[in-house]
Structure 1
C-alpha cells in the first residue's frame, strides 16, 4: 500500500464516518456524498450508492477506480423503521456497488457492519412475539446487514468486516453527528418517559464510543489488514443494565433533571401482564413508543457477551475499561441533555475519562 493511500469513504457525515476522517491525516481522503457536503475530507465526490457505477459516467468511474487504494464503507440505513425494501436497497445493494468498485480498483475493502448480526435470533419477530404498535423492526436492519456481509465475503476482494456494537458519542465530549440507537432510550430516561425497562438487571449492554470505532478502522488501514472480522465491542467489560441505568440516573441528577428511575422487569412479564393490562389503554402514541422500546431492547434482554477484537493487533486500540465506558456514557448523556435544551446555564463538565488512544 502507498505511504499515503487514497481512501474512499462512504457515510462520511454519519456517526462513524465523521469520527474517522480526523483519524486519517496520513491518507488522502475522498468522501462519497449523496446530498450534503461534509467537512474534513480532502475531496468530495457526489454519487449514488444504489446506482450502477455509483451514478458516475464511465470515464469518471474509471478515473476514480484508478486512484483508490482503500474503501471504507460506513454508509447504511441504521434506523429500524425504514422498511425492508429501503433498508436492503442501501445496506445490501449499496454494498454490492461498493464491492464492485473495490474489485475494479484493486482496493482493500473495510465494511462496517454491526455486532448485532450475532443476535438475529433475539428479535421479537424471530421469537414469535407480538409487535403491537411498534414501527421499529430490528429484523429488517439485521437481515440487511447479514446480507451485506454475505456480499463482501463472496466477492473475493481483500476485505475486513468491522462489527461495532452500539455506537455512542465521543468518549470525552459526548459529541455525535446524529442521535441514534441507544440515544433514543437515553432521551426517554432523561425525560422520565420510561417507567420500566424490559431487560433483566444483569444483561450486558454493549456500547463503544465513536472515536474508538474510528481509531480501530484507522489502525486496520495502517496495519494493512486484508481479511477477517474485527469486533469493536466492550466485551466482558460491558455495563450491566442495572449499572447503565444507575449511571444515566446519577448523571441526570447531577444535571438537575432528577427523572423518575425506571423499574427493570423481565420481558416475559411485559408480554404476560404489563402490555395487556397497563399498556393497551394508553394513547396510541404512548403505546407505539412503548412497543418500539420493546422491539429495540429485545436485542439485549437475553444477550450473551460479545467477542472483542480490541487490543489484538499493533494498531488496534485496547478495550475500554468499565470505568472508561461509564465516563463515556456520562459524556454522551450530558451532551444529549445540553443539545436537546434540557439543561441551561450550567458550567461545562470536567469529563473524568481520557480519550481512547489510537
Structure 2
C-alpha cells in the first residue's frame, strides 16, 4: 500500500522511545500502533498483538488485513528491564519478537526501521546480576540485528545510545538509566557513588533521536537506497564524563538550597562495601577515557551533529527534573 499519506506500523508506542516517536510520525503519516495492553493517544488506529507469540497472536484474516494496509514498520517494541527474573525473556521479546515483525514485513513487502541499541556492540564482563542482565540484553539486541540482515525487505538498524527525556515529556523516566543515576546523585551523599570522574557515557537528547528516526522512516518509504543498513545515532564526540554529571548535580543542589557537603563521586579504589545496585550499573555503563567515541551518523540525515552544548543543556534540564524531594 502506498497512499498520499503513507501508513506506519509502530511497535512499542507506549515505551520511552515509541511514545516520543508517535506524535512525530503522526504529524506526517497515518500511524497504526501495534499494542499489547495500553493504547496510546495519537495513533490513527490500534491493533492488539503480542510480540512473544508466533504470528503476533493475530488471526490469519487480521494479519492479512494489517499487512495490506501499511507502508513501513518502525519497530521500537522490546524489553529493557535490566533485572528480569528470567534472562531468556530478552531473547523472547527482543530477538524472537523482532523475527516475528520481520516476518510481517516480508508478508507486507514493506521496509523496516529497527530500533536497536549501542549495547549490541559491547560484551559486558562480570558474573554479578547486573553484568549478566546487561550482557543478556546486549546479546538479544545483537541477535535481532543478525536476523534483520537476513530479511528479504530493506531494514535500517538504529543503534542508539542512552537517552535524555524529551523536554516535552511530562515526567522523567526515573526507572531507567541515566535518570535513576541522576536521582541517586541528588541524594547528595558525599562519595556515595564509586565512579571514576574521567569515565564517560554517551547520552543523546531524545529530540535528536526522534528527528533522525522520523527522517529515516521517510527515506525508507521513498525507497532511498542509502537508508537500509546500520545507523549509529549517538552523541559521538559530545559524550559526557562522570565529572560532567557530578557538576550538573552539584550546581542544581546549590541552586535548590541543598548544597552538597562534598564530592558526590568517590574513587572506586576507596574501600567500599560490595558494589551493587545503581553503583554497579553505573560502573558497567561508563567507559574508560581511552575507549574511542561511539560512531555517530547523525549528519547522514540531519543538518548537523549534536554539540557538547546541546548535550550539557539536556543534562541540566534532566537533572532538574530528577530531584528526589517534593516540588
- Structure 2 length as normaliser, TM-score? 0.89
Q: 1:151 to 1:335 in 2, by over 3 A?
A: same
Match of 1:168 in 2: 164
Cα deviation for residue 295 of structure 1 reads 3.8
Q: Which digits, 9 at most, give the CA deviation of each residue in 1:234-282, with x for residues without a partner?
A: 100112221221112212322333345323425xx3xxx63xxx305xx
Residue of structure 1 equivalent to 2:319 = 333
- Give the match's secondary structure for 1:208: strand
CA change 1:256–1:154 in 2 (3 A) is farther
Cross-structure match for 1:255? 256
Alignment of 1:118-133 (within 5 A): 118-120=121-123, 123-125=124-126, 131=128
Measured after TM superposition, the shift of residue 223 of structure 1 is 2.4
Deviations 1:39-82 (A, max 9, x none): 11111111101112211110000000011111111011112111
Q: Take 1:139 and 1:117, find their aligned partners in 2: how far apart are those partners?
A: 9
- Contact map agreement 1:50 1:94 (CA 8 A) in 2: yes
SS in structure 2 of the partner of residue 32 of structure 1? strand
Give the match for residue 71 of structure 1: 73
Q: Which residue of 2 is the match for residue 297 of structure 1?
A: 283
| Deviation of 1:218 (Å) | 0.4
Partner of 2:99: 96
Equivalent residue for 2:305, pick from 312, 316, 319: 319
Query: Structure 1 pair 108/47, CA: closer, same or farther in 2 (3 Å)?
Result: same
Between the aligned partners of 2:188 and 2:195, the Cα distance in structure 1 is 17
TM-score, length of structure 1 as denominator length:
0.81
- Higher RCO (CA 8 Å, separation ≥ 6 residues): 1
Give the superposition deviation at 1:93: 0.8
The unaligned stretches of length 5 or more in structure 2 are none
Q: CA deviation at 1:177?
A: 5.7
User: 2:34–2:47: 8 Å Cα contact kept in structure 1?
Assistant: yes
Change (3 A) 1:336 1:151: same
Deviation, structure 1 residue 136 = 6.7
Secondary structure of 1:261's counterpart equals coil
> Secondary structure at 1:311's aligned position in 2?
helix
Is residue 193–residue 265 contact of structure 2 (8 Å, CA) maintained in 1? yes
Q: Is the 8 A contact 1:7 1:29 kept in 2?
A: yes
Give the secondary structure class of the aligned counterpart of 2:317.
helix
Residues in 2 aligned to 1:59 and 1:207: alpha-carbon distance in whole angstroms? 43
Match of 2:53 in 1: 51
Question: Which residue in the other structure is 1:10 paired with?
Answer: 11
> Equivalent of 2:141, from 136, 145, 149?
145
**For 1:301, what is the secondary structure of its paired residue?**
coil
Contact 2:202 2:239 in 1 (8 A): yes
Aligned length: 316
Contact 1:196–1:265 (8 Å) recurs in 2:
no
Corresponding residue SS for 2:321: helix
Structure 1's unaligned 5+ residue stretches are 281-286, 345-358
1:162-311 to structure 2, matched below 5 A, reads: 162-171=158-167, 175-176=171-172, 179-192=175-188, 195-224=191-220, 225=224, 226-259=227-260, 260-266=262-268, 269=269, 274=271, 278-280=272-274, 288-289=276-277, 292-302=278-288, 303-311=291-299
Superposition map of 1:338-349 within 5 A: 342-344=325-327
Over 3 Å counting, the alpha-carbon distance change for 1:244 and 1:288 in structure 2 is closer
Secondary structure of the equivalent of 2:298? Answer: coil
**Aligned residues of 1:248 and 1:329 also touching (Cα < 8 A):** no
